[in-house]
Structure 1
């Protein structure tokens, strides 16, 4: 095998594939990315046996000889990162793999690429097609609310519900819950069943990173124990999280007497950052008091100090004070543009706050109990 590649697209493709490979594994072969060259296409495959990726590269590629090679992740990444060459040559011989620049030459040991585990392709006839922009929003607006450290394994991933034109993603750690919904297309009557299509946090973040701006849609196929994603240049496979997801719809507030306040992300986030200056890891709660056209945020932490920040709002109801973890409010602000508008729904100091946007995003924050 011998190919000549432009370094930047090569490095980007290799780095994405390499992010799947485990840093440590009893199976040393998994600490490689397999490169297969055929029909003027270079295909990178990697897996940790839970997640797998097949990534094609055509841009900036000259093929002299077809073939296959195993590229050690750590060394190859370092070579591509440190090189300043515009083009890189990769070739194999009986002694291993050579990576050549204009003034550099590296030889790496080469294991047998035929022994590398097969990474499945996308051969499904039944799947959902989702606009790229919506898919990215579904991931970014929910994945931060998952809890990979929880003993409840189902919370360590994003729940996908796909049925007809309805596509929906949910993330929760039990203290807050994020839901993003939109519209897609079912092909071959594809749909998920129940609450078992839970994609591990790490895997769905990889899927979001793998989506290219040049893609208009992504295809998702949910099977009994795994999920497949396909774009124009890659396929990603992931086992699903075992377990049943909580009944998230019971958590989502359905209230008749709640107050709804129109707000803008930027001013809230700016005021929140000021109020949070005197918080610490143990004392994360901030009192949000809504009264007389003003939102007052107050924090009080022993040995650090106190803060009080006011923000004008369109609210003239009875005074209501909620204590919320400032990080949870900040997470909501971070995934939206500063000029985005949203509705903040409150009822009592003991009931959850609901933050929602017009484009299908809803975010529930449970109030904190705080000692005074």
Structure 2
């Protein structure tokens, strides 16, 4: 394989595929990437056997087609340090050499036939615009659990039905549900539960650039494949049962309060200044056309922040971890409003943004 590449474009491509490279593995080849040169394109592949990515870099000068294994860490370092706009890669099964105008680097390589195969997009799929998909991911991924439990909450639940794609995430203390328009084939994915690892979804988000681009999503019983214009992301699905989130969402409330996103986020951040690790708590007091946010740390002091709101019902006091509220507000347009539905200070609070986004937060007791 002998190719000439634009340095910046290759560096960006290596950084994209590098997110799927195995950090710890008993197979040394998984610590590298596979490069396939053909005609005027260079395709880079990486996998940790659970998640994989195939990224196509076009506009490459290919003097000799072929395949090679490239050590990703050292290659990225070379590209970062080189002042050149173009670099040349000459690689085979024994070695990989990188040339700039003033430097030459040689690294050991491996047999590209030993690199695990990565499935291609085929069969049924549904489509979403990149803009819609990015929004769905941003509004849910932050709520995914960080630790394994008996529930498969380290994944995002992906549902498709009736022209809609729905993403659901929870860590058992909060629940985010986002829905967007999708082009769905009749009968697609009926009767299946799809638990997509958050790592795969985060890699997908990094590959969403043009809001109008259509992204293909093929959900299978044990795996999922995403296809963008330049990249294909593959992932195994997680096994397990997802919490019955539809039953958790409250159907009734005693108070419905419209709140400005920007003003609420600012107030929450101000009140949270006086919290500490032991008292990660802000009290939300709704009464007499205003919201009072109060916090007090064991050693840090206390805070009190007021903001006007359109509420004149009975007083409701409810305590939240301020980060859980701020996380949700940060993924919304600051100019928008959210509808907060409350029952009392002991039951979960439900934030709604339009008809396609719901965010449930458990109060601190």
Q: 2: CA distance between counterparts of 1:41 and 1:192?
A: 38
Q: Determine the structure 2 residue equivalent to 1:69.
A: 68
Contact 1:92/1:98, CA 8 A, preserved across alignment? yes
Q: Which is further off, 354-363 or 302-311? A: 354-363
Q: Determine the structure 2 residue equivalent to 1:151.
A: 149
Residues 1-372 of structure 1 aligned to structure 2 (within 5 Å): 1-59=1-59, 61-92=60-91, 95-124=94-123, 126-187=124-185, 189-194=187-192, 196-213=193-210, 216-255=213-252, 257-358=253-354, 360-369=356-365
Q: 2: CA distance between counterparts of 1:260 and 1:307?
A: 26
Q: 2: CA distance between counterparts of 1:321 and 1:214?
A: 41
SS for the counterpart of 2:273 is helix
Residue deviations 1:71-130 (CA, integer Å, cap 9, x gap): 112111211222222111111257511111222221111111111111111112x11111
Give 1:264 deviation, angstroms. Answer: 1.4
Question: What is the TM-score of this pair, normalised by structure 1?
Answer: 0.95
Q: 2: CA distance between counterparts of 1:274 and 1:142?
A: 24
Q: 2: CA distance between counterparts of 1:49 and 1:218?
A: 23
Question: What is the TM-score of this pair, normalised by structure 2?
Answer: 0.96
Give 1:211 deviation, angstroms. Answer: 2.3
Distance change in 2, residues 1:79/1:188 (3 Å): farther
Q: 2: CA distance between counterparts of 1:5 and 1:328?
A: 45
Give 1:258 deviation, angstroms. Answer: 2.6
Q: 1: CA distance between counterparts of 2:162 and 2:342?
A: 33
SS for the counterpart of 1:18 is helix
Residue deviations 1:277-303 (CA, integer Å, cap 9, x gap): 111222111100000011000011111
Give 1:352 deviation, angstroms. Answer: 1.2
Contact 1:207/1:236, CA 8 A, preserved across alignment? yes
Distance change in 2, residues 1:93/1:174 (3 Å): closer
Give 1:163 deviation, angstroms. Answer: 1.5
Distance change in 2, residues 1:347/1:19 (3 Å): same
Distance change in 2, residues 1:242/1:311 (3 Å): same
Residue deviations 1:339-365 (CA, integer Å, cap 9, x gap): 122111112111111111115111000
Give 1:192 deviation, angstroms. Answer: 4.5
Distance change in 2, residues 1:105/1:153 (3 Å): farther
Q: Which is further off, 46-55 or 351-360? A: 351-360
Gaps of 5+ in 1: none
Gaps of 5+ in 2: none
Give 1:152 deviation, angstroms. Answer: 2.7
Contact 1:218/1:229, CA 8 A, preserved across alignment? yes
Give 1:237 deviation, angstroms. Answer: 0.8
Contact 2:94/2:111, CA 8 A, preserved across alignment? no
Give 1:337 deviation, angstroms. Answer: 2.1
SS for the counterpart of 2:4 is strand
Give 1:153 deviation, angstroms. Answer: 4.7
CA-atom RMSD in angstroms: 1.5
Aligned length: 365
Q: Which is further off, 295-304 or 96-105? A: 96-105
Give 1:310 deviation, angstroms. Answer: 0.6
Q: 2: CA distance between counterparts of 1:127 and 1:288?
A: 44
SS for the counterpart of 1:159 is strand
